[in-house]
Each structure stands twice: as C-alpha cells, then as structure tokens.
Structure 1
Amino acid sequence: MNYRTTKVKQIKVDSVAFSSILQIGDAKVIESKLDAIAVQKEGGTSSDKGFEFEKYPIFDTVIQHLPDPEIVYRKHYHHDKQITVPTIVVTAISSSAVVQLGSTDKIQSLSRVKHIRMVK
C-alpha cells in the first residue's frame, strides 16, 4: 500500500488516562491494556483492601481473538499524497483507547473493568 503523510496543523487533547495512547507518527505495533476495579460506596471508602483482582474472574478470562482476516487484494487511488486536517479536538482518551496520527500495522487494546456499587 502507498502510505500518505498526515498533516495536522493543531491538535488539542484535554485528557489522556488509564493506559491510553496518543501516538503522533508511525508505529509497527501499538498495545494497550487496562485492568481496573471501580468501587462506589455511599460514604466513601477508606481503603482498597478486599478488592483484589484475584477475587474477580473477569480478570482471568482468556480472550478469544478473532482470526486474521483473509487477504483481500485491492488498489487505492490517492489523489493527494497527504491528508490535511486543520484542527483535531479530543475531549478525553481513556481506558486503553488509542488516538493516532500516522500509520500502524497492528493495534491491540484490551480494557477490563469491574464495577462495584455499595449502597446502604
């Protein structure tokens, strides 16, 4: 495939958090992974004791990946050698998400979150 250059005049990102990636430029492989336990308790929590990852089977689950897609032969006709964007505005990148300006051969992201709500 013929790669094109991405030309961005300005990018504004307010927040990047929790194993997320803002990639400017090309990459062969991007991998991001997040395991999180989100606890909401009336009156607040004073400690994270009792909320270990080992207690919850979601974090031990083996993910069944999709097989590689079959090869499809195609031709692209790019009328311009670059992609030009004046401004990109991103409010937040979170929980193993990827925002990239450039080319990547492979992106693999995984986010597992266990939500616990404790109400009286």
Structure 2
Amino acid sequence: MAKRTSHVQSLTNISVDTSSVIQIGDSKVLDAVSNVLAVQREKAIFYENEFLFRDYFTFCEPIDVPVITEPLEITTCHETSAICVNKVRVNFLAASSVLHVGSNESICLGSRVKNIRHIMKDADKNQK
C-alpha cells in the first residue's frame, strides 16, 4: 500500500450513524459492522429480552463473500505523495458506511436491519 499524506481543507458532516467511520489518512484495515433491530409499536410497551438478535434469521445467516476467480491487474500512478481535497460535504453516513480520504489495503462493511411493526387491531384500539 502506498503511503500518502491526506489534506482536507473543509469537512461538513451533519450526522454519523452507528458503526460508521470518517477516516482522513491512511488505514490498513477498515471493518465496520452494524446490526439493527428496529421495533415500532403503537403502544410502547417493551419487555426485557423480548427481542434478541439470535432469534432472527437475518442476523444468524452467514454472508457469502464473493470469490474473485479471474486475475486482477492494477496499475497506479501517484504523481504526488499527497491526496488533496478542497471541500467535502456529507449530510449523513448510514450504518456501517465509510467516508475515507487516504490509502487503504482492506475494507469490509456490513449492515443488517430487521424492521418489526406491531400494529394494534381495531378492536384493541377501541379498548384504550
């Protein structure tokens, strides 16, 4: 990996979500994983240990990493030893995302989200 100096004049960011990275400068490995279990209920009553990641296939299923079978040939030309960026403006970095200015050898990102909505039946709503 070529070592470079990274210069960023201005960076504006409004929000960074869980397991996200803002990296200015070189990094050898970036690894960001986010598991989100989002539960929405009309009546906000929750019990301890009611929702566990292990109870949902979404979080237990292994992720198949693609295997590269064809040979890769990469030619790079670094005319200077610096990466210069004038302005970066990012409104939001979602779960397990990366804003990276610099060299990197390896990156692995993953995000799994399970949304659950419990909506009350009309009969249950009338009993409120």
Which TM-score band (shorter chain)?
A: 0.7 to 0.9
Q: TM-score, normalised by structure 2?
A: 0.78
Q: Which runs of 4+ in 1 moved over 6 A?
A: none
Aligned CA distance change for structure 1 residues 69 and 93 (closer, same or farther; 3 Å): farther
What stretches of structure 2 of length at least 5 have no aligned partner?
121-128
Distance, in Å, in 1 between the alignment partners of 2:109 and 2:84 is 27
Q: TM-score, normalised by structure 1?
A: 0.83
Distance, in Å, in 2 between the alignment partners of 1:78 and 1:28 is 18
Task: Indicate the larger mover: 41-50 or 63-72.
Answer: 41-50
Q: CA deviation at 1:90?
A: 0.6
Which of the pair is proportionally richer in helix? 2
Q: CA deviation at 1:86?
A: 1.8
Q: CA deviation at 1:43?
A: 3.4
Instruction: Name the structure 2 match of 1:33.
Output: 33
Instruction: Name the structure 1 match of 2:54.
Output: 54
SS of corresponding position for 1:86: strand
Instruction: Name the structure 2 match of 1:104.
Output: 104
Q: CA deviation at 1:72?
A: 2.7
**Percent sequence identity over matched residues?**
32
What stretches of structure 1 of length at least 5 have no aligned partner?
none
Aligned CA distance change for structure 1 residues 23 and 2 (closer, same or farther; 3 Å): closer
Q: CA RMSD in A?
A: 2.3
Instruction: Name the structure 2 match of 1:66.
Output: 66
Give the number of equivalent residue pairs: 120
Q: CA deviation at 1:5?
A: 4.5
